Structure 1
Amino acid sequence: MPLSLDLTDAKTRLQWAGMTAASGDKIALIGLNKTQMAQAFKDAGVPEKQARMRASQVWQWIYVRGHDDFSRMSNIGKELRATLEEKFTLERPEIVEEQISEDGTRKWLFRFPARGAGAPVEVETVYIPEADRGTLCISSQVGCTLTCTFCHTGTQKLVRNLTAGEILMQLMVARDRLGDFPDADIPQGGVVPSEGRKVTNIVMMGMGEPLYNFEHVKQALLIAADGEGLGLSKRRITLSTSGVVPAIYRTGEEIGCALAISLHATNDALRDEIVPINKKHNIAELLQACRDYPGVSNAKRITFEYVMLKGVNDSLNEAKELVQLLKGIPAKINLIPFNPWPGSNYECSDWEEIEKFADFINANGYASPIRTPRGRDILAACGQLKSESERMRIKERMALEATRAMVAGHGED
């Protein structure tokens, strides 16, 4: 279980939050909660009696209006604005690449600056527009440690956790690009979406296991749900986990968002193989945590994600076992057609088998929508994030190095 951190000491707080910007020693404000922001202002010389008020003002400029320029904060005096500009930053990550799928799905490759002795890191974030909502899939780690055998993202090694600020910045930039802040200028190249295509929901289903980065994910999601800022309902925030059971209890108690479980198997023998964390927290332990999740009801159901693997977990018998396993848990079962990737040993179940599976589950009282693959043409579908772009960038670097070597060789002739 992740340890709770004492963030009252200013130095500890700054180190934990990873707030030092690449440009000098400026402190990044995105990702701080209100108490931390007020403390940072006091550390910068703002009188104690004013610090909380100034933090509240800046908070609204950041999260309600989406501003990244202190000079535009018109209800703050020029002298203080100059101090803020000198000591703090609202810097967004670099957008390395932005792709738009033929189905309207958008994928961004973000580069975050180096922290400490580390190198800059890159993650991918996906926006999925639908008629009644716009969902943003957010990453929590660079890489992943879980090595689920069907997941392309899991073939990467873990580089590091993202900070609360880096998690939130994915949401901030998506809102920038979609014209989703009320009085922010639309950036060059940004798109004003049609009605219903702004970010209404966020899902922690991108790169990484969110509950292995609990403290930062918790802080980011509580800021996202703050009614005086980004104002997303906790019912529209879903955290997906492969089964870090102790932290599931903490999620219910300390965050209170919707919960999704990457289940994918109906028995421990198979789940041990395809979702290795099951060896640490088995299915019975995982489902007990689901039964105990605060507020779980027909109005607040747990989502179980089940990737359909041909000849592995897609038989009618497994559909029957799944219904028995989830008995008594208010649940929805998302059936996910497997998204193939180079080197995988799996195939997607035949569509006819997926429909039979879904029909049986529906007949037994559980909603079982078949998730329509989105963004496959830009490798933005479930389980495809970052790995392919990383592979392509490695190929590009190798080609560049080969070219340099050839040029150097000609120079020696």
Structure 2
Amino acid sequence: MVLIRINYNLLRMASISIHQSPIHLFSNSTHFLHRLSISSSSAATCLSASSSSFSTVCSPDKRISRYENTKAVLKGMTYTEFEKWVSSHGYRPGQALMLWKCLYGDNIWAHSVEDLEGLNKDFKKMLSKQAEFTVLKMKDILTATDGTRKILFTLEDGLVIETVVIPNEKGRTTVCVSSQVGCAMNCQFCFTGRMGLKRNLSAAEIVEQAVFARRLLTSEVGSIANVVFMGMGEPLQNIDNVIKAVDIMVHDQGLHISPRKITVSTSGLVPQLKRFLRESNCALAVSLNATTDVARNWIMPINRKYNLSLLLETLREELKSKHKYKVLFEYVLLAGVNDSIEDAKRLIDLVQGIPCKINLITFNPHSGSKFKPTSDEKMIEFRNILAEGGCVVLLRPSRGDDQMAACGQLGNPGEIQAPLLRVPAQFQAALEAAL
């Protein structure tokens, strides 16, 4: 009876937190906003009961299984957890470090026991029985005309995520990782948002995207030293696993990625944003994309819960205690919606007192979209107004758009999609003109 009760609670928690269908996620705006207040960490709570031969396990680092011999997922552990796990099987910390380097460093990026170098036979034999090396299966690699690669990965449950590798002529190649399957935010200009949220990714599923990118493409594109959490999903809705994945990525004996070269993006979940700024030294990018609540309520429904004033005031307060730290504001320019001279002037006022850079992004079209990209001339005009107002501003060129690998183009919504929201009256004429 105990086992039955635990399984029921586990299923109930999963349906509340991460596994509801898009129909339920977006059936009405009140329910949608209520869901955002539910901590994503509840889905990672470990509920277990065991007898001599049977157990149920729910953990971000272990597969859900009925059997006691569940294998530990190595890439889901921080180094401290990793070392303890190795020690629990009777091996010295030195062996743990050698294994860690085989997984993440020394240009090995091991995917199986056969890839391991320098470890004793008994240790490798134990690993073959007790450890899982990979949680992703590569499905395909698509190459855009500009050299951008989009990697499709199949997860253990059959769902698919996408990871993008963006080469840079100066050697600063970036991997753009996903943090969720789909996304619950329903931003109206984002293709991923059409999917709704399927589930969070585990720390291992996040980390392995970076490991796979290095293993597959380092020889072609050079060192991959930059990571951006700008793929599928809202990273801060999966904050526990994102912070854990980052901890694994920055370890100096592993992937050894500098915290300054890891950027986590958010649509503006204020409580999680506070936690991230207090617990992480990585860079933060905030998708702003509008200068009024009317516009942002429409194109980014999260604004109905955490509006511009609350979001920006939170950043002002939190950044006071972070020395030489600048937030990156991302601003996707949508023709006739948020690209006017008045918008540029309001944006200057909005970011006053916040140490920041502003990244202007071209809208990348996708099927079913109502929006059109702002012209190059108008983007330059918008940038110049911001620069004259004292802002540090950058223009981000579109990369990989011919393979649906550019910003806002990832994912496959399928037949059941999140709803398109009603266009506010003041934008209807402009939107029709853009179309």
Letter in 1 for 2:196: K
Matching residue within 56, 65, 69 for 2:97: 56
3-state SS of paired residue (2:328):
strand
Aligned partners of 1:7 and 1:13 also within 8 Å = no
Distance 1:74 1:156, change over 3 A: closer
Q: Which residue of 2 aligns with 1:203?
A: 228
Shift of 1:294: 4.7
Give distance in 2, aligned partners of 1:42 and 1:13. 24
3-state SS of paired residue (1:16):
coil
Shift of 1:20: 2.4
The reply on whether 1:387 has 2:412 as its aligned counterpart is: yes
> TM-score, normalized by length of structure 2?
0.78
User: Could you give the per-residue CA deviations for residues 136-189 of structure 1, whole angstroms, max 9, x where no partner exists?
Assistant: 11100001111011111100021110000000111011001123xxxxxxxxxx
3-state SS of paired residue (1:383):
coil
3-state SS of paired residue (1:271):
helix
Give distance in 2, aligned partners of 1:227 and 1:218. 16
Shift of 1:13: 12
Letter in 1 for 2:281: G
Q: Which residue of 1 aligns with 2:362?
A: 337
Percent identical across equivalent pairs? 37
Letter in 2 for 1:144: C
Matching residue within 16, 19, 26 for 2:71: 26
Q: Which residue of 1 aligns with 2:220?
A: 192
Letter in 2 for 1:54: Q
The reply on whether 1:122 has 2:160 as its aligned counterpart is: yes
Shift of 1:307: 0.8
The reply on whether 1:36 has 2:65 as its aligned counterpart is: no
Letter in 2 for 1:107: K
Give distance in 2, aligned partners of 1:74 and 1:102. 37
User: Could you give the per-residue CA deviations for residues 248-291 of structure 1, whole angstroms, max 9, x where no partner exists?
Assistant: 11111212210000000111111111110011111111112222
Instruction: Write out the 4+ residue segments of structure 1 that deviate beyond 6 Å after TM superposition.
Output: 4-14, 295-298
Aligned partners of 1:108 and 1:126 also within 8 Å = yes
User: Could you give the per-residue CA deviations for residues 36-89 of structure 1, whole angstroms, max 9, x where no partner exists?
Assistant: 22343355xx22xx4544322211211113122334544432112101111112
Give distance in 2, aligned partners of 1:274 and 1:72. 47
Matching residue within 252, 257, 260 for 2:277: 252
**Considering only aligned residues, what root-mean-square deviation do their CA atoms show, in Å?**
2.7
- Which moves more between the two structures, 91-100 or 270-279? 91-100
Distance 1:368 1:10, change over 3 A: farther
Distance 1:14 1:146, change over 3 A: same
Aligned partners of 2:47 and 2:57 also within 8 Å = no
Q: What are the within-5 Å matches in structure 2 for residues 2-401 of structure 1?
A: 2=39, 15-20=58-63, 25-42=70-87, 46-47=89-90, 50-65=91-106, 66-91=109-134, 93-114=136-157, 120-132=158-170, 133-179=172-218, 191-193=219-221, 197-294=222-319, 299-387=324-412
User: Could you give the per-residue CA deviations for residues 209-264 of structure 1, whole angstroms, max 9, x where no partner exists?
Assistant: 00110111110011111112111111100000000101111111212210000000
3-state SS of paired residue (2:264):
strand
Distance 1:73 1:329, change over 3 A: same
User: Could you give the per-residue CA deviations for residues 15-49 of structure 1, whole angstroms, max 9, x where no partner exists?
Assistant: 22152299x84322112112322343355xx22xx
Aligned partners of 2:386 and 2:393 also within 8 Å = yes
> Structure 1: which 5+ residue stretches go unaligned?
115-119, 180-190, 392-413
Distance 1:327 1:207, change over 3 A: same
Give distance in 1, aligned partners of 2:224 and 2:49. 33
Aligned residues: 367
Letter in 1 for 2:77: L
Aligned partners of 2:319 and 2:354 also within 8 Å = no
Aligned partners of 1:99 and 1:378 also within 8 Å = yes
Aligned partners of 2:102 and 2:117 also within 8 Å = no
Aligned partners of 2:265 and 2:285 also within 8 Å = yes
Shift of 1:131: 2.1
Letter in 1 for 2:211: M
Distance 1:52 1:379, change over 3 A: same
Give distance in 2, aligned partners of 1:29 and 1:14. 16
- Which moves more between the two structures, 64-73 or 294-303? 294-303
Give distance in 2, aligned partners of 1:204 and 1:52. 31
- Which moves more between the two structures, 253-262 or 8-17? 8-17
> TM-score, normalized by length of structure 1?
0.82
Aligned partners of 1:337 and 1:373 also within 8 Å = yes
Aligned partners of 1:19 and 1:29 also within 8 Å = no
